A and B are shown apart, each in its own frame.
Chain A
């Protein structure tokens, strides 16, 4: 549904987006990650046709955004950053206006307004003017606007920004549910959100895509992914470590903490984690170590994120910490 090819945007001498390409099909939820100023919002603004790209193509459902913008925009629902809305309108008035601009009239319009009011829990503030609303309600009002025409493509710029934990959960559930039938792109700073909602994630840094894969694949790029962590009731770090280092499948091991004693062992080859944990269990039994915990690390997205997006000099510093 969404095809982006070699998208570029420069503001004067500054390159904001530098050759970004990807596609999103129906039924996919694409998470857009990156540090502040990486070019996430600029990319989304080009996808939705708000700003023209310096170079490259955007096509929505086969309609080119540059040559056929109206047809392309019809298919998109867009929640811009900071969720703007007309402060002087009531929630109902604002949603009705959006529906009308989307070409909905008469009964279809009031039905659409009622539907999104219910989906976004806006019923209690229906007749309140937007400027009197709390941030959470204001945010959901703008979110409601983006789904009022039941679009095939949704572009959401930080949809959970400024919401409380319950509201965040509601919005995530909503996105995941809608993602079954729509093509969705959303940007976020919250990495757990990506794991909870996305079928695929892209990490963008300084205008370039630096990683692209399922959250699971991305996590495996983490340094600790595949390592096995063993936590014992007591024992000395050095003796346990030296015993573990003698195992055939272990490349190296580190003592993470002394009390409770936690040792992390790295397998010699990738994907050998299961054999390693089996070996660790056996040796613990033999040595009569009292196991509190034994588990394989899945890797952590924030670690991957930091390793990928930090400048080189800082990567080594972060690794030491």
Chain B
């Protein structure tokens, strides 16, 4: 990958970022994410009552928060380009489709990352109150960021399918929900009642829950990292296929 190929990615990512911050999208996302994660951590999960020096109560809500918030950020990524017709400008510039896809994806991922960084007071709090394992906390952040990226790539894919942002949002939520439920204990417990164990494991292996939970516990397994990265690559690759199919008519 030469610097020549990176230049358009940077240009597109910069434009997207300024787009997120010149509209309320980024601010609304960040504020709601911070409010909700605070509410769930302290009110619902009873962070103080638990008496643990860790952020399990904080991270365990992220799959559910992202379920609605990430598709809301990603839904405009391509559908807006198609609605405005700017996709015709963008793809007739001396830019390859994958440069555009990656540039847009990184910009939106950076917004999600920023929201995550802004949760730092919770890290300070837990360090003030006790002696947590900061390695585990770091792993939790890494897992959460990767999971957000996976949801985002799926939202990018669904937003390339349609010029309607609402449709894009709903389809992204449904796919993400499937990825959560496939490994959610109530579902896996139900499956073990009648299905063979290899089947249950196979389904659970597709789930973000299984992989996120093990990272959350502080175990950074390359297989879990690979799972999230391959989910991202697959969804972005499919985005490219959808865009090409759409152009070919």
The chain A residues found within 8 Å of chain B, CB to CB, are 9, 11-12, 45, 48-52, 69-71, 73-74, 76, 78, 80-82, 84-89, 93, 97-98, 100-103, 129, 142, 145
Contact = CB atoms under 8 A, between A and B. Distances in A.
B19 A97 contact: no
A71 B93 CA distance: 10
28 contacts: A9-B249, A12-B249, A49-B91, A50-B92, A51-B249, A52-B247, A69-B96, A70-B95, A70-B96, A76-B92, A78-B92, A81-B85, A84-B86, A84-B89, A85-B84, A86-B84, A87-B84, A89-B15, A89-B19, A93-B18, A98-B89, A100-B11, A101-B12, A101-B94, A103-B7, A103-B94, A129-B22, A142-B89
A101 B11 contact: yes
Contacts of B52: none
B247 A51 contact: yes
Contact of A82 (B7, B85, B95): B85
B143 to A, nearest CB: 33
Contacts of B247: 50-52
B91 A50 contact: yes
B116 to A, nearest CB: 24
Given A74-B94, A86-B15, A129-B22, 16 more contacts: A48-B92, A49-B91, A50-B88, A50-B91, A52-B247, A69-B96, A70-B94, A73-B95, A76-B92, A84-B89, A87-B84, A89-B22, A97-B11, A101-B11, A101-B12, A101-B94
Contact of A73 (B12, B15, B88, B93): B93
Interface string B1-45: 000000110011001001100110000000000000000000000
B248 interface: yes
Contacts of B92: 48-50, 73, 76, 78, 80
A282 to B, nearest CB: 61
A310 B74 CA distance: 47
Given A52-B248, A88-B23, A89-B19, A80 B85 contact: yes
A85 B89 CA distance: 8
Contacts of B85: 80-82, 84
A84 B93 CA distance: 14
Contacts of A129: 22
* B contact face: mostly helix, strand, loop, or mixed: helix
A78 B89 CA distance: 8
B19 A88 contact: yes
A145 B96 contact: no
A53 to B, nearest CB: 10
Contacts of B249: 9, 11-12, 51
Contacts of A101: 8, 11-12, 93-95
Most chain A beta carbons < 10 A, residue from B18, B93, B248: B93
A207 to B, nearest CB: 14
Contacts of A49: 91-92
A45 B88 contact: yes
What 3 A-B pairs come out closest when comparing CB atoms? A84-B85, A48-B92, A80-B88
Nearest to B86: A84
Nearest to A87: B84
Contacts of B15: 86, 89, 97
B35 to A, nearest CB: 25
Given A49-B92, A70-B94, A85 B23 contact: no
Nearest to A76: B92
Contacts of A80: 85, 88-89, 92
Interface in B49-107: 84-86, 88-89, 91-96
Contacts of A87: 84
A85 B85 CA distance: 8
Most chain B beta carbons < 10 A, residue from A69, A84, A97, A103: A84
Contacts of A103: 7, 94
A198 to B, nearest CB: 23
A102 to B, nearest CB: 7
Nearest to B10: A100
A67 to B, nearest CB: 13
A73 B219 CA distance: 48
Nearest to A70: B94
A51 B11 contact: no
Contacts of A71: 94
B84 to A, nearest CB: 5
B107 to A, nearest CB: 13
A142 B85 CA distance: 12
A51 B18 CA distance: 28
